[in-house]
Amino acid sequence: MDEPLSGLDPLVRDEVMEGLLAQAGETTIVISSHELAEIERCATHVVFMDRGRVVFQDTFDDLMTRFRHVTVTLPRDAAAALAPTLPKAWLSPRREGQVITFVDRAFAGDEALRRQIAEHVGAVQVASAEPISLRDLSKALMRASRTESLQ
Query: How does pLDDT run across 41-93, given as a tens digit for each residue?
Result: 778 888 888 788 888 889 999 999 999 999 999 888 776 566 677 899 999 89
User: Is residue 5 domain-resident?
Assistant: no
| Structure-model confidence comparison of residues 1 and 113, the more confident one | 113
pLDDT in tens, 2-39: 777 777 888 888 888 788 778 777 778 777 777 787 77
Residue 124: which of 95, 103, 104 has the closest Cα?
Answer: 95
Residue 108: which of 134, 90, 84 has the closest Cα?
Answer: 90
pLDDT at 150 over 80: no
pLDDT at 119 over 80: yes
Taking a C-beta distance cutoff of 8 angstroms, is the pair 40, 32 a contact?
no
Phi then psi dihedrals of residue 114, to 5 deg:
-60, -40
Phi then psi dihedrals of residue 106, to 5 deg:
-135, 40
Residue 101: which of 124, 76, 134, 77 has the closest Cα?
Answer: 124
Query: Looking at the structure, do residues 89 and 130 belong to the same domain, yes or no?
Result: yes
Domain membership of residue 26 as a residue range = 10-42
Query: Looking at the structure, do residues 18 and 70 belong to the same domain, yes or no?
Result: no
Number of domains into which the chain is organized = 2
Q: What is the CATH number of the domain that holds 90?
A: 3.30.70
Cα–Cα distance, 65 to 50 (Å, whole number): 22
